[in-house]
């Protein structure tokens, strides 16, 4: 794992964006794995800027996302689809239909199987952008006795509901379930870029960098098995 300690959120976003930009210049038909959450918003802004300035284009690129809340309409402002449109897709030059997100109307595992098929057709991603949960979750793979290799419907940890309630009117409004790409598919990317900023992420970052054991109660730890991971972390998350 290559660790890049950045001054602050903006510096982290810019440095990570530079890596993505150079990959897009090299391979315009890039396949991107994208993430939601506050961590990648700055990176998306730098990609939008590079697109606006003509440095890159997403015309030949495709993207696929990690996760989505269960039972949430894509027009709902809390859906990850809405988030991606607002923060990224509406501002760049992707061709219509090339941005894929999972969807699940209810807890039926058939939605997970459907997404596995879509992932298989999509093929290996060149880059996967990732955030990290305060509890070490990746996408919505929560700490548990077992982790899933492939897509599943997951019950969100209380701590995740708490952390994500900042985006909702109240904690009660946060969906209790999500559909999430599994660990094997997340890692099926040539390069992984993990973003972590702010004091709240310090414990997770410390464990990721210092604890050499692997445990399903810390899903992010499995990133160390991947040969090409870049961790962009700001001073606050790095030093606490
Ligand atoms: C959310 C998402 C994750 C995200 C993480 C961190 O629950 N499912 O994909 O990486 O939590 O979010 P944030 O970047 O807002 O801290």
* Cα 132 to averaged position of ligand 1 atoms, centre (Å): 6
pTM (predicted TM-score): 0.96
pLDDT attached to residue 74: 85
Nearest CA owner, ligand 1 atom 11: 133
Q: Which two three-digit tokens encode residue 15?
A: 């440095």
9-26 vs 41-52: helix crossing angle, rounded to 10:
50
231 domain residue, yes or no: no
Q: Express each pLDDT in 129-154 by its tens digit.
A: 999 999 999 999 999 999 999 999 99
Structure tokens at 60: 């030949």
C-alpha to C-alpha distance for 127 and 115, rounded to whole angstroms: 19
Query: What CATH number should be reported for the domain holding residue 100?
Result: 3.40.50.1360
| Residues 146, 117: Cα–Cα separation, whole Å | 22
Q: Is residue 16 part of a domain?
A: yes
56 domain residue, yes or no: yes
Residue 58 included in any domain: yes
Indicate if 91 belongs to the active site: no
**Ligand 1 centre and the CA of 130: distance in Å?**
8
Tell me: pLDDT of 167 over 90.
no
User: What pLDDT is recorded for position 151?
Assistant: 98
The percentage of the chain sitting over the pLDDT mark of 90, rounded to a whole number, equals: 95
Q: Which domain holds residue 21?
A: 2-218
- How would DSSP label each residue in 52-77? HTTS---TT-EEEESEEETT--TTST
Kindly state whether residue 38 falls inside one of the protein's structural domains: yes
Would you state the pLDDT for residue 71?
A: 94
Q: Is 159 in the pocket of ligand 1 (CB under 6 A)?
A: no
Per-residue pLDDT, averaged over 145-164, amounts to 94
Q: Where in 114-188 does DSSP place strands (E)?
A: 125-130, 152-155, 177-180
Is there a domain that residue 60 lies in? yes
Average pLDDT over residues 148-167: 93
Which residues on adjacent β-strands are paired with residue 12? none
For the chain, how long is the longest CA-to-CA vector?
47
Number of domains within the chain:
1
Q: Is the CB of 133 under 6 A from ligand 1?
A: yes
Inside any domain, residue 236: no
Query: Tens digit of pLDDT for each residue in 84-135?
Result: 999 999 999 999 999 999 999 999 999 999 999 999 999 999 999 999 999 9
């Amino acid at each position: 794992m290559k660790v890049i300690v950045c001054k602050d959120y903006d510096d982290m976003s810019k440095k990570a964006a530079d890596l993505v930009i150079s990959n897009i210049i090299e391979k315009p038909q890039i396949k991107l794995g994208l993430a939601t959450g506050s961590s990648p918003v700055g990176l998306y802004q730098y990609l939008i800027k590079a697109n606006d300035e003509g440095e890159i284009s997403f015309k030949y690129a495709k993207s696929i996302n990690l996760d989505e809340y269960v039972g949430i309409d894509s027009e709902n402002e809390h859906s990850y689809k809405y988030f991606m449109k607002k923060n990224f897709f509406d501002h760049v030059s992707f061709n219509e239909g090339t941005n894929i997100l999972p969807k699940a109307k209810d807890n039926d595992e058939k939605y997970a199987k459907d997404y596995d098929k879509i992932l298989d057709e999509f093929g290996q991603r060149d880059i996967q952008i990732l955030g990290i949960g305060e509890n070490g979750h990746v996408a919505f793979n929560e700490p548990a006795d077992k982790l899933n290799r492939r897509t599943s419907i997951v019950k969100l940890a209380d701590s995740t509901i708490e952390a994500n309630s900042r985006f909702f009117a109240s904690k009660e409004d946060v969906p209790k379930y999500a559909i999430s790409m599994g660990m094997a598919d997340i890692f099926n990317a040539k390069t992984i870029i993990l973003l972590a900023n702010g004091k709240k992420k310090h414990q997770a970052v410390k464990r990721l960098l210092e604890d050499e054991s692997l445990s399903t109660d810390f899903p992010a730890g499995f990133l160390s098995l991947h040969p090409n991971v870049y961790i962009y972390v700001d001073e606050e998350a790095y030093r606490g």
